[in-house]
Chains A and B, each alone.
Chain A
Amino acid sequence: NAGVTQTPKFQVLKTGQSMTLQCAQDMNHEYMSWYRQDPGMGLRLIHYSVGAGITDQGEVPNGYNVSRSTTEDFPLRLLSAAPSQTSVYFCASSLTASYGYTFGSGTRLTVV
């Protein structure tokens, strides 16, 4: 089992560019989430999904878009990158939160 796979691992964007962070899991988990980690702030929820076709906003959704067309994939789209979106992004999946989310290894994004 690969678990949760995130690509790319590193990315540098110019302000205003768009891109998609990919996330795939092979555990047949219904719940998937995107978090960003910033120094001194822990991990903050961007968007989450409870199953294919169902998504909802988390704590910091502005500037990001998601869709969930399959159980396995949950891509995160940056519509127009801003320096404030410089962060480490983690994708996670779970049967339920009580089982503990499985996290990917992260994407380090720098917006210049």
Chain B
Amino acid sequence: DQQVKQNSPSLSVQEGRISILNCDYTNSMFDYFLWYKKYPAEGPTFLISISSIKDKNEDGRFTVFLNKSAKHLSLHIVPSQPGDSAVYFCAASPSLNKLVFGAGTILRVKS
């Protein structure tokens, strides 16, 4: 039973446009949500996070939105750049010790 779902295996976006990556979760006990970016042959790198007490967090070109009632979060990248092409993982934290990851979405930004 996947508690964190990323239903789009891949997404293709034109350079300069907005990329929107989506994530749904089922466990209402999750209190912290994170996005990681992963390039081939490298470990995931932390991108941005949001606490369950907020509905938006921004960091430069990256914004994460949280809709607790819908159990849905999204990552917006504006403007998208070719270097953003990677696998993006959504993760949720039921406690400070653990992360539960989604299956990932492959983002391709075309120049």
Show the binding face of A for B, using Cβ within 8 Å: 4, 31, 33, 35, 40-45, 48, 50, 56, 58-59, 90, 92, 96-98, 100-106
Contacts and interface: CB of A to CB of B under 8 A. Distances in A.
Contacts, number: 67
Contacts of B36: 100, 103
Interface residues of B, number: 27
Interface of B is mostly: strand
Contacts of B43: 4, 90, 92, 103-106
Interface in B52-79: none
A53 B100 CA distance: 24
A40 B4 CA distance: 12
Contacts of A33: 97-99
B98 A97 contact: yes
A43 B98 CA distance: 12
Nearest to B43: A103
Contacts of B104: 42
A56 B96 CA distance: 13
Contact of A43 (B44, B45, B46): B44
A97 B99 contact: yes
Given A48-B97, A97-B95, 15 more contacts: A31-B96, A31-B97, A33-B98, A43-B101, A92-B43, A97-B96, A97-B98, A98-B32, A98-B49, A98-B96, A100-B46, A101-B46, A103-B44, A105-B41, A106-B43
B51 A105 contact: no
Interface in B1-37: 4, 6, 9, 32, 34, 36
Contact of B34 (A58, A90, A100): A100
